Amino acid sequence: MRDFRTLFNSIFKRVLNKFSFLGKVITSLFGILELPILELGRRIARKFNISEMQFLNKHFLKGRWGGRIIPLNKNIDVSTKFAPTQEILEIVSRSNVAKVSYCYCRTVQRANDEPNCDHPLYTCIHLSYGKDLNEIAGKTIKFKNITKQEVIDLLEECDKRGLVHQLIYFPTPDFYYVICNCCPCCCVVLNNFLNESLPKVIKSDFIAHTDLNLCQNCGKCVEWCYFNARNLENGKLRFDEKNCFGCGICISKCPNDAIKLELKRTN
């Protein structure tokens, strides 16, 4: 059964790579259905006291839904050369943005009198139709009902608040339909990944390296590292490289400018 699934996934990926329009249609349709699916899963999970994400992954999403983390350019080392697909502002500017809408996750928390944070609700950047990450490099800026500066201001405000920028994808990590700014306390994707390892969250192409000569071991970056890559042991910073997702949130929180996002080394 596993061999068949592996073969099917391989063929499915090749078909989507060859016929990009098919992937964009699929991700656009899923984007329309996402909220009803999430709400159904939430209600069933509440009623039967089961894990919402385990239920959705088994019966609906089949491991094809999740988030891809992309940092903001100001968190990337200025000497680093990077592609348009590696930085959130560039991706947004090439993604046919239709509007900014409310965050389902934070809205549900507050509607059920379970507020976990005071972050703003209107932080989801919706696309007019699904996008293929592989085709993004040559695209031009296309915005509707929102200006480029408004998007930039939103992303920078979210970054200051410590929200993680994610491309929410389906049916493969190359096809996305919404760009979210997520908090680990409310976000269905991020919260469930951190607690249950579902759905899949893909690391960015960067890693947050610390200059130990500048680091004062204050622990500020530890407070803001959602992925447990940074810890203080005996008063000294300990960095676990394999846990770093390259979101860049720790950088703006460091009072000594000791952290920089750098491209991962490729062998």
pLDDT in tens, 42-62: 999 889 998 888 888 888 888
pLDDT for residue 140:
59
pLDDT in tens, 90-144: 999 888 899 999 999 999 999 988 878 999 999 999 998 999 998 887 655 567 7
Mean pLDDT to the nearest integer, 2-9: 76
Q: How confident is the model at residue 164 (pLDDT cuts 50, 70, 90)?
A: very high
Mean pLDDT to the nearest integer, 53-79: 91
Residue bearing the bigger pLDDT, 8 or 194: 194
Domain 209-263 sits in CATH at: 3.30.70.20
pLDDT in tens, 119-130: 999 999 999 899
User: Measuring CA to CA, how many Å separate 103 from each of 12, 63, 171, 234?
Assistant: 31, 22, 21, 39
pLDDT in tens, 182-212: 999 999 999 999 999 999 999 999 999 999 9
Q: How confident is the model at residue 66 (pLDDT cuts 50, 70, 90)?
A: very high
CA-based nearest residue to 81, from 262, 266, 243, 267: 262
pLDDT in tens, 208-241: 999 999 999 999 999 999 999 999 999 999 999 9
Separation of alpha carbons 177 and 253, rounded Å = 30
Does residue 219 sit in helix, strand or coil? Answer: coil
Domain ranges of the chain: 2-202, 209-263
pTM of model > 0.85:
yes
Mean pLDDT to the nearest integer, 33-40: 92
Q: Please, what sign has the CA dihedral across residues 169, 174, 179, 184?
A: positive
pLDDT for residue 1:
57
Mean pLDDT to the nearest integer, 169-186: 96
Q: How confident is the model at residue 2 (pLDDT cuts 50, 70, 90)?
A: low
pLDDT for residue 221:
96
Q: Is the pLDDT of residue 266 over 80?
A: no
pLDDT for residue 62:
84
